[in-house]
Structure 1
Amino acid sequence: MKKLFICIICFVSMFAKAQNEAASTHYLLNPTSINPAYTGFSDKYQLFLNARWAWQGFTDAPRTYLLSFNAPIGNTLGLGVMVGKESLAQLQQIRGQLSYAFRYQISDVKMALGISTEFRQLSINSQAANPLFDQNDDTYKDYLAGSRIFDAGVGFSGNYKDKLLFGLSAPNLISARLGSVNINSGDKSSFLNTGLATLGYKFDVNEISVVPSILMGKSRTVPFVADFNLRTSFANEAATVGLTYHAGLWKAVSLMLGAKMNGLFIGYTYDYSFQAFQNYNGGSHEITIGFEFAKKENKFEKKKRYRN
């Protein structure tokens, strides 16, 4: 019975992490979610609320909720915080993250180095397993209490003349399990679990901006991730339309619509998968609400080395 319980937990936890890490497209709106180097990079205070409902209409489908804030500190530093909850069936994960970045500029190139530290707790609903498992089983009780994991990541980001956009990140450079739960689910202490690279270019024509970009890399539970993005903004980003093709394992397409006014941004994405499983659900929905506040200027502002 213990082996059966462990196998179920391994499968569900790996599947939940895999779909979450590779499916979301709103890193285009909030790049700090995949790269800590973007913390404070815009030189503005930013608050993001994100919700994702995958596999609409499917019972116990994945749900993700994130709240994040990042801000410039002084002329060269950035600080960010993120909290979130993810669930799949009776499995849930609570996470909290702190990110830090050092920003600098060399001629027309803006660059930043960032690090992140994250704590995650993975647990299951006790009511889900009560009919199946012995409540006196130590492994069962440990997972009810939660498997606690610590992650540390690094990132690099930059742009050239605000046109060429690039970034590298390892969100889970170091991952270590805390506590007594010991199963082969991919979360043992490890090095370089995830690596991501992004590259894009911004074309401006009158009041229209077109940004083709690509994200490539490997995830902790997915061997290859590749997103091909095309985002078009109108009237100084008052309206945005985006299209993403997810290659590799997921084989899906995402349509993004967004609007921005007076520092308030609302973005919505619908995902449609080309996998057979799409026949059993209504697709995935994702919403991001963002607030952006300009940093107050002071008499030392003109002397700063980093300029937005």
Structure 2
Amino acid sequence: MSRYKLLILFWGLTFWMLQARAQQTVQFSQYVFNGLALNPAYAGYKDDLTLNLSSRIQWVGINDAPKTGVASVDGLLNSSGNKNVGLGLIATFDQLGPESTTSVYANYAYRLRLDALDTKRLCFGIGFGAIQYRLDGTKFNATDAGDSEITTGIASNITPDFRFGVYYYTPKVYVGASVFNLLSGTGTNLVDNIQLAKQVRTAYLTGGALLPLSETIDLKPSFMIKEDFKGPTNLDIGGYIAFNKAVWLGTSYRTGVQIWNKNNLQSGLDQSDAVAAIVQFYVNDHFRIGYSFDFTTSKLAGSQNGSHEFSLSISFPGKKQRVVSPRYF
């Protein structure tokens, strides 16, 4: 298949994904440093076996505000061969008040090589896993004692799921599209006659570039569109300035945007969400730590003290492995 046919197929799949019916999933400000959290086709991108950890504490000062953690590991099936297969494992925990969601996915990516120097690849990925939703009824304060609609104990269920994505990259540019929770619309979600909430389909479109400004300074702009086709479309746009590829200082702005009219939305909603200040430090080529702070720009700003997010990644290079093109995404 020619390179042009592959790109046509890539964009065709992208537009198909953006027609999925979806509901938004967890939010991270440092999403560009853990691609597997947004796209299973990212598995194996860095060639090295790589461990990523992320933790987010949202809306500090509000009781039972969201808390999210992600752990992932990915690498190549055969790093000394054609590098066509990437594998990854990712686990996510998200808690909001009495609700908590835990998910685990195994990811497989097939990586098509597009040039002789192996600097460009088009990747197709799929992830299989399960989601556990848990509701702790002991944390509710019922207005009417004995309300049968409120569980008195802990209710939970586990549902299977899979996700799909495509990812294209060169040394200077990347673009990806994915859809999560593909099985969300099937089956029921009842435990002991209690209706449990569940995540439904969420589509992502991401992209970014690396633009050299001098021998020691680079600019790295990026964007993410997250769509559920029911709530407001979420747009995150930002950029980093990198000094000697070691210190990255960045900011991003997250807001809702109206791409088309959604009749189910309340009129007059405040679209603005948050501005994030982000810093990343590469101790060496294989160890990165990061921190970001979100300044809330919505009407919620006066009720909380912002959001903290921490991230860490460690790579374990093979003994004879040689990366032809450095990985900056």
Q: When the two structures are superposed, what TM-score results if normalisation uses the length of structure 1?
A: 0.80
In 1, the alpha carbon distance for the partners of 2:100 and 2:121 equals 39
* Contact 2:206–2:223 under 8 Å retained in 1: yes
How do residues 190-229 of structure 1 correspond to structure 2 at under 5 angstroms? 193-204=201-212, 205-219=214-228, 222-229=231-238
C-alpha distance in 1, partners of 2:298/2:97? 21
Say yes or no: does 1:255 pair with 2:277: yes
| Contact kept in structure 2, 1:148 and 1:177, CA below 8 Å | no
Structure 1 equivalent of residue 297 of structure 2: 274
Q: Relative to total residues, which structure has the larger helix share, 1 or 2?
A: 1
Q: 1:49 to 1:184 in 2, by over 3 A?
A: closer
| Within-5 A mapping of 1:228-247 | 228-236=237-245, 238-247=246-255
Which residue does 2:168 correspond to in 1? 158
Task: Tell me the amino acid that sits aligned with residue 301 of structure 2.
Answer: Q
Q: Give ranges in structure 2 of 5+ residues lacking alignment.
A: 1-22, 257-270
Structure 1 residues not aligned, in runs of 5+: 1-16
Asked if residue 115 in structure 1 is aligned to residue 138 in structure 2, the reply is: no
CA distance in 2, matches of 1:50, 1:217: 19
8 Å CA contact 2:189–2:197 kept in 1: the answer is no
Of residues 58, 62, 74, the one that matches 1:54 is 58
Give the superposition deviation at 1:130.
7.7
Code of the residue aligned with 1:150 in structure 2: it is: P
Q: Is the 8 A contact 2:77 2:85 kept in 1?
A: yes
Deviation at 1:184, TM superposition (A): 8.2
Whichever structure has more strand as a proportion of its residues is 1
Amino acid at match of 1:217: K
Task: Return the offset for 1:133.
Answer: 6.0
Instruction: Give the RMSD, CA atoms, in angstroms.
Output: 2.9
Q: How many residue pairs align between the two structures?
A: 278
Query: What secondary structure sits across from 2:302 in the alignment?
Result: helix
Secondary structure of 2:63's counterpart equals coil
The residue type paired with residue 214 of structure 1 is F
TM superposition shift of 1:185: 4.5
2:20 is aligned to none
CA contact (8 A) 1:150 1:178 kept: no
- Residue type of the partner of 2:134? S
Of 287, 292, 295, the residue aligned with 1:264 is 287
Of residues 110-119 and 125-134 in structure 1, the stretch that sits farther from structure 2 once superposed is 125-134
- Paired residues of 2:177 and 2:203 also in contact (CA < 8 A): yes
Taking the aligned partners of 2:150 and 2:128, their CA distance within structure 1 comes to 27
Q: TM-score, normalised by structure 2?
A: 0.76
Q: Does 1:31 align with 2:46?
A: no
Q: CA deviation at 1:173?
A: 2.9
Question: Does the aligned pair in 2 maintain the 1:149–1:177 contact within 8 Å?
Answer: no
Inter-partner Cα distance in structure 1 for 2:132 and 2:36: 21
Q: Structure 2 vs 1, CA of residues 43 and 133 (structure 1 numbering), >3 Å: closer, same or farther?
A: farther
Equivalent position to 1:146, from 129, 132, 156: 156
| Alignment CA distance shift 1:184-1:60 (3 Å) | closer
**Counterparts in 2 of 1:112 and 1:133: CA distance versus 1, 3 Å:** farther
Correspondent of 2:113 among 101, 105, 111: 105
Counterparts of 2:164 and 2:88, CA distance in 1 = 14
CA contact (8 A) 2:250 2:279 kept: yes
Name the aligned partner's letter for residue 105 of structure 1.
R
Shift of the alpha carbon at 1:139? 7.6
CA separation of 1:186/1:95 partners in 2, compared to 1, >3 Å: closer, same or farther?
closer
**Hey, what's the Cα distance between the residues in 2 that align with 1:165 and 1:153?**
20
Task: Call closer, same or farther: CA 1:76–1:165 in 2, change over 3 Å.
Answer: same
CA contact (8 A) 1:244 1:253 kept: yes
Question: Which residue of 315, 320, 323 corresponds with 1:292?
Answer: 315
